[in-house]
Structure 1
Amino acid sequence: MELRKLGVDGPMVSRLALGCMTFGKEADEDAAFAILDAFVEAGGTLIDNADVYVDGRSEEILGRWLRNRPQQREGLVIASKGRFPVTGQPGAGLSRDYLHRALDASLRRLGVERIDIYQAHGPDPRVPLEEFAAFAAEATAAGKVAHIGVSNFAGWETALVHSQALRAGGPAPVSLQPQYSLLVREPEWEQLPATRALGMGTMVWGPLGAGWLTGKYRRDTDAPEGSRLGDDPNRGLEAFSRRGSDRTWRIIETLADVAAQHDLTSTHAALAWVTDRPGVTAALVGARTADQLRDCLQAADLHLDPAAVQVLDKVSEPPTPDYPYTFLTEISVWS
């Protein structure tokens, strides 16, 4: 699998990364082990977790897999995140004290001495970003963390934490983890330009739109039984009530046409599109089964031709607010 450098100062990581949110819930331990084995066999290196995934159980499962496969650890980049409530970890947030406790708990669950990329899972308006920067400097100095990252931060927050980290005498964050796909292109307005300007990489989540871009959902048809929305039509950001717009269906139908013209599936075409976007280092894919993951991994070295990219770019272009984005684009060419 193709490897890419995560920003200027980050590690080399696989173009497709494995997200572990299904472990311990939609994928039991045996299924999770099979998924991890399939990922490594395909040449994948970046594995992303979080303490909040199934209340810590996902990290525990990954930890047991690592102990059972000690020969694999050296070639892997293990990422995790802290910020949100986990049972037995009071005081959730980005305070310095809480993150030190959360990091130690993640290290115990994973059974490792160091996490390769430790990320703030989201902003915390109650705590100045200087606290996260101080934590980052201390955690890396202690050898518990190799690199720092942020997830779900706005562009200005990413820039601010980057400057605060350098001011604190620690390493700057190497990555941002935003949601990004054909259905969610708004990160192009602020988040992706910020990371590119700062020399950071990105590991994007939701590249298949939580299943919407796989072709499993059809306009004016109920979600199939056993799918995420078939189990829960009102599930989070991907709920039918939030995402089932005419724009979404146009994107899905155009994606299916482009995929068919190139003898691909919608899944493969969507992953190829997102992994070649400017500023994207890796795309996180999750799975309930090893076979489901293997299907996604068929897109690991796939690149769409420029004509196909242009068609998908056009149909997925989000409505851009006149101010500031359209206005700033217009005046940028004035001379």
Structure 2
Amino acid sequence: MPLDRYYTLGRSGLRVSRLCLGTMTFGTEWGWGADEETARQLFNTYVDAGGNFVDTADLYTNGTSETWIGQFIAERNLRDRIVLATKFSYSADPSNPNAGGNGRKNILRAVEGSLKRLGTDYIDLYLLHTWDRITPAEEVMRTLDDLVRSGKVRHVGLSDTPSWYASRCQTLAEWRGYEPISTLQLEYSLVERSIEREFVPLGLELGMGIMVWSPLASGLLSGKYRPSEGVLNADGRLEMMKDSQNSAFQKFSDRNWKIVAELESVAKELGHSMAQVAVNWTANQPGIGSVIIGATKLSQLEDNLKSLDFDIPAELLDRLNATSQLETQFPYSFFESTHQIMIHGEKPVTTKPIGYYPVG
């Protein structure tokens, strides 16, 4: 499936590619990443393949990512074509208590910095990057709505928040006539399926398409780790960051190695790379609007761009799903069939298919 087939993001009119170019790797300030020329090559390759959706954040590589993206867009006069997403929340000045977080003061400060670095007068999709645990949803949504009304932002979204907080934000938007949330940006992959419990149903119910980050589980599913060959500790971010406090890089576990082994087996049967199969699986799950793919090398991006060019047969999907299946937890375990029979009787309960509308 080529990238020039576009889908609306959530319940909005914003049309985006199913694969989004992630640019957290644009810059070498963090000890890994792509230099400017390589980053430009990655951007051009993505755009030439038909992609129109680019994701960054104000503090990715200390602002270098936004700066380079702005330059690359300007060099090719692509501002009207590119759907540009960026995020706020993190502080570049720890000494200033209002230089981070999701309060109005920081949001208004952050958006001006992003606009300047990106070299544009508007942002297509502006996202809260991470829940700060203190700012009321009312303040966040009113401020984001003000930015939309001012013309500096077109659409808004949330990344890495609790489901109850996202639900409250969207309900406030509907109730008060604010710009609604069009997307939730969340981690999702064969080894991290937690969003299936609440976020996927939430997004489908309230019109928020999910943007997936880390579909390769920070590299665990990329093909660098092949249990059949005894390759379990390849050079990469997971090895560099395994002793850090960042939970996104804590992927080494017995469960995850079993998933990697099954992925390797399925990829061999399909004749595709492990990365392609992992991205394909993620992109075709319910509620997923777009999958963010990042790279530090052109070969990695070129491989990922072919992820939607094939279908995974049902038998192989069943194997991947069975190996990576979530353990049922309370309260979902309480909703199992026994209790449903006690509620509804012996007759099976059915739900209306997506797209069903009553006649008359």
TM-score (norm 2): 0.87
Decide which of 121, 126, 142 is 2:134's aligned counterpart: 126
Report the equivalent of 1:53: 60
Q: Which moved more, 1:90-99 or 1:129-138?
A: 90-99
Q: Deviations over 1:146-187 (max 9, x none)?
A: 000000122211110111223443211100001000000110
Q: Residues 269-289 of structure 1, C-alpha deviation per residue, up to 9 Å, x if partnerless? A: 111100000000111010002
CA distance in 1, matches of 2:13, 2:132: 24
Superimposed CA distance per residue, residues 238-289 of structure 1 (whole angstroms, 9 cap, x where no aligned partner): 54xx322111111111111111111111111111100000000111010002
- Which residue identity does 1:8 align to in structure 2? R
Is 1:85 aligned with 2:91?
yes
Alpha-carbon displacement from aligned partner over 1:186-216 (angstroms, at most 9, x marks no partner) = 1000111111100111111010111111121
Contact 1:64–1:110 (CA under 8 A) maintained in structure 2: yes
Could you tell me how far 1:303 is from its partner in structure 2? 2.5
Does structure 1 residue 217 correspond to structure 2 residue 186?
no
SS in 1 for 2:310: coil
* From 227, 237, 242, the counterpart of 1:228: 237
SS of the equivalent of 1:195 reads helix
Inter-CA distance 163–238: structure 2 relative to 1 (3 Å threshold): closer
How many residues align structurally?
Answer: 330
Who wins on radius of gyration, i.e. which is larger? 2
- From 331, 335, 351, the equivalent of 1:328 is 335
Superposition CA RMSD, Å: 1.8
Match of 1:174, SS state, is strand
Amino acid aligned to 1:82: F
Return the structure number with greater helix share.
Answer: 1
CA distance in 2 between partners of 1:126 and 1:173 (Å): 20
In the alignment, the residues of structure 2 paired with residue 77 and residue 246 of structure 1 have an alpha-carbon distance, to the nearest angstrom, of 39
Normalized against structure 1, the TM-score is what? 0.94
1:319–1:110 CA distance, 2 compared to 1 (3 A): same
* Stretch of structure 1 that moved more, 228-237 or 157-166: 228-237
TM-superposed CA distance for 1:45, in Å, is 1.1
Amino acid at match of 1:151: S
Instruction: Select between 83-92 and 251-260 the one with higher mean Cα deviation.
Output: 83-92
Are the aligned partners of 2:282 and 2:291 in contact in 1 as well (CA < 8 Å)?
Answer: yes
Match for residue 266 of structure 1? Answer: 274
For the structure 1 residues 89 and 196, does the alpha-carbon distance in structure 2 shift closer, same or farther, using more than 3 Å as the test?
farther
1:27 aligns with 2:11: no
SS in 2 for 1:281: strand
**Percentage of identical aligned residues:** 34
**One of 289, 292, 316 as aligned partner of 1:281:** 289
Deviation at 1:218, TM superposition (A): 4.0
* 1:228 positional shift: 1.8
Q: How has the CA–CA distance of structure 1 residues 215 and 104 changed in structure 2, closer, same or farther, with 3 Å as cutoff?
A: same
CA contact (8 A) 1:137 1:169 kept: no
1:161-240 equivalences under 5 Å are: 161-219=169-227, 221=231, 223-225=233-235, 227-235=236-244, 236-239=246-249
